Amino acid sequence: MRVLTWNVWWRFGAWRERREAIATVLRATRPDVIGLQEVWGDGSENLAAWLAAELSREPGEEWAWTWAASEMPDRWRRRVDDDTLDVGNAVLSRWPIVDRDVLRLPTAGGADDGRLALHALIAAPGARVPFFTAHLNQAPYESAVRCAQVAALAEFVASHSGDTAFPPVVTGDFNAVPDSDEIRLLGGFRTAPVVPGQVLVDAWEYADPAAPAVTWDRANPHVAAGFEPSARIDYIHVGLPGPDGLGHVRAVRRTGDAPVSGVWPSDHAAVVADLALPS
């Protein structure tokens, strides 16, 4: 099972050209389940729905999708001067989505623009996969906020992961580097886990050490324009493997990390991982 996470940069920049580039990358990468952040909807159209339709053009494909919109999109709307747009997270799957739930992430005194986590239960071949995608607060100084959000996310994951042998798959843009307090807390093995016994392994631990790792990359002109350093801030975390290694990480890499016909798909690179399904 190939899973992918990607922050698709909402409706910023040349969004029509970018969504074509995003679709091109997804078709080439061939994921089975996708977690997206900064997905837009305008009342008549939704990026997740559009991408699911594009992927469904392939013979034999019929993609399912679900999304959850922020309850507080005003800051996003002001940035593009459009008060009709919504922003949120989405899950796309080539297999049926049989359940879903949404968690409004706490703000712990930080900026509140309706960050959330979305759960989708995927009916994959031979297993039901508890899949999650989240988008945490952005400001570099909001580590304490992100720690509170990670704590809530960990409880949310635990509440939706007990009825299947497949380990939970937690994806998203966490706006935090790997050795930060919030990422160590999410993993639950470099510090005490939020939920006793819950461990979520960073899939990048299985990557080729020589492979490019950063997902917020100054090689991307949309990143370089902000004068921030490159960093790895987008993640796929997976629970401990189930019976016979069910769900273990077989490979992981970046994708969406170069222009497509001269267009950068997003300001983030995507992360894609291959996980073991039942043989």
CATH number at residue 124: 3.60.10.10
123: tokens are: 């009916």
Query: If you search the block for the tokens 């994708």, which residue do you land on?
Result: 255
Single-letter amino acid, residue 28: A
- How many domains in the chain? 1
Higher pLDDT, 69 or 111: 69
**The Cα angle at residue 36 between residues 208 and 257, in degrees rounded to 5:** 40
State residue 279's pLDDT score: 78
The model's pLDDT over 24-67, given as tens digits with 9 standing for 90+, comes to 999 999 999 999 999 999 988 999 999 999 999 989 899 999 99
Higher pLDDT, 109 or 31: 31
Residues 210, 216, 222, 228, CA torsion sign: negative
State residue 162's pLDDT score: 87
Spell 40-66 as b/e; 16+ CB within 10 A means b: bbeeeebbbbbbbebbeeeeeeebbbb
pLDDT band at 203 (very low <50, low <70, confident <90, very high): very high
pLDDT band at 195 (very low <50, low <70, confident <90, very high): very high
Whether 97 shows a pLDDT value over 90: the answer reads yes
CA dihedral 154, 69, 111, 134 (to 10 degrees): 30
pLDDT band at 153 (very low <50, low <70, confident <90, very high): very high
Whether 128 shows a pLDDT value over 90: the answer reads yes
Q: How much is the mean pLDDT over the chain? A: 96
Mean pLDDT for 247-274 is: 98
Range of the domain at 93: 2-275
State residue 95's pLDDT score: 97
Strand partners, 67: 90
State residue 63's pLDDT score: 98
Mean pLDDT for 15-22 is: 97
pLDDT band at 134 (very low <50, low <70, confident <90, very high): very high
CA atoms within 13 A on the CB side of 166: 22
CA-nearest of 267, 98, 41, 271 to 170 is 271
